[in-house]
Amino acid sequence: MPRPIRRLPEPRAMIVAPQPEAVEAGTEVLALGGSAVDAVLACAFTQGVVDPMMCGIGGLGSMQVFDPKSGSHIILDGLSTCPAAATPEMWEGIFERECSDGYGYVLKGAVNEVGHQAVTTPGILRVFEAAHARFGRRDWASLFGPAIRFAREGWVVRPHVSAMFTMNEAAYGRAGYAAKLSYTPDGTRLYMRDGAPKRVGDTVVNPELAATLAEIAANGAESFFTGAIAARIDTDMRANGGLLSLSDLAEFRVREHKPLEITYRGRRIAAPPPPAGGIVIAEMLRILERFDLTAMGHNSPEYIRVLAEAMKIAGLDKDTHIGDPDFVPPPLDMLLSDSYADACAARIRAGEKTSLPRVCGDAKHTTTISCVDAAGMVVSLTHTLGTPSGVIPPGTGFMLNGAMNWYDPRPGRAGSIAPRKRRFSSMSPTIVLEGNAPVVTLGAPGGAWIGVAILQVLLNVLDWGMTMQEAVQAPRFSATTNDIDISNRITRATQRAVEAMGYGVKRSPMSFPFAAPHGITMWDGKLEGGADPQRDGYVGVVA
């Protein structure tokens, strides 16, 4: 007899993120009638507790919101700024080199990466505050419940958290994570055991963070930027030679933008404009629209070559042209024009290889959330600590970002240091629309790999007809330098064929490398989610 087919109720709301505890928190809010923004905030607060080197209230990020009820479609930019005390020349004399993988800069003493001078003005709580004020349906304080509970009662170190805790990036020119976890007495107590980072199965209890979150729940984000928490941060900074000041915190403002939009094969692709990373994805798609990709075969040698060249062209243009628009106006009309896309495609067809010795971007220590609620609101959030600084202000329980590592210590460049300047960020929470109806929401952590990963997932869904789960777990590759990095699930025969074209190819030992996309499709109103397998997350459903 044929096996019975089990039919589950169709989901009416959905949330997907890399951490199971955080997905659980967001799903609970959706089930109680919260909006997608409410659910994303509950999820994000919990992420900061259970993935403390990836994100948190001391970090930064970008959120895209599509709300059919109000007709709003906006980007909320909470990317951090250089403290006002920063100057373009302050680290010029201690610059040594770029990190070998392009994620930041190596300075004598690592002052731009570890410790109080590494901290930029954190903006993510202002994003959460602004989003909730405009799109929230649940009480602000209620969104902190799961995060406070996990901080107070404890959470268990998962495999991916353990991998981050034990990561040693000395080969790239960056400090090991054990040094950051143990940088402060609070960090040592929270995250170390027997002189090493806590292991899979160990419990982390953080009552100080529970108290900090309770303070923000009761008194709002203002407590972090001008109130009791701001005073603690300021005291710690002044005592330890930090650049961040009370006025930096008080004067930080969220930027609201219209999404950067292009069309790709008749659909609208909406992503955050500079200094976020939507321009890289948009430029790649504009170039690749000139090719019949499906005729090449998925992940065939020619497919890899064409996509890799588009990746390198967009990466080089980003390095050359894109910084903080307040300081370096971006030539978006030129980069996204038909004539420029035609010229780039012609170069690729002619076999020209773009030289991209190195790309500088975010650290890989980031996380993401995508959510759709029962009313059709769609939210995509990416947030991060950048390269975590290791600084936990005494008694607060949270780590501050180390995003000064992203700024070029050499004056006169698009990404150079300047007071109140925002650095380019690869973060690109993305929404795809057919006409005015959203059909895909997608985001990814992963530094300079974010753009190339989101690109491939979009192509997998839009060109190849994959489900979101199929799309995020399909083998990926990356060209953010002159070499092409490939997943261990791309065949050796394909690798040899790409090498025969004159490319250097580096095989990752990982099955799911190059960022960690998570997303949801909404074809014909049916929600289907996908969680990248490497990050321990899953899809939460409300039926």
Q: Do 533 and 512 form a contact (C-beta atoms < 8 A)?
A: yes
Query: Catalytic amino acids?
Result: 366
Those residues whose C-beta lies under 8 Å from the C-beta of residue 373, and which sit 6 or more positions away, are: 13, 30, 34, 35, 36, 39
Single out the residue of 330, 407, 402 nearest to residue 361, CA to CA: 407
Alpha-carbon distance values, 448 to 114, 262, 299, 424, 452 (Å): 21, 21, 20, 11, 8
Helices (H), 15-98: 20-31, 36-50
Measured torsion, CA atoms of residues 358, 362, 364, 366, in degrees rounded to the nearest 10? -160
Q: Do 386 and 60 form a contact (C-beta atoms < 8 A)?
A: yes
Those residues whose C-beta lies under 8 Å from the C-beta of residue 314, and which sit 6 or more positions away, are: 279, 280, 283, 284, 287, 451
Distance CA 161, CA 537 (A): 12
Beta carbons within 10 angstroms of residue 138's beta carbon: 18
Sign of the torsion angle spanned by Cα atoms 367, 142, 376, 27 = positive
Distance CA 153, CA 15 (A): 24
- Burial of 154 per CB tally in 10 Å (0-12, 13-18, 19+): middle
Amino acid identity for residue 483 in this structure: D
* DSSP SS3 for 248: helix
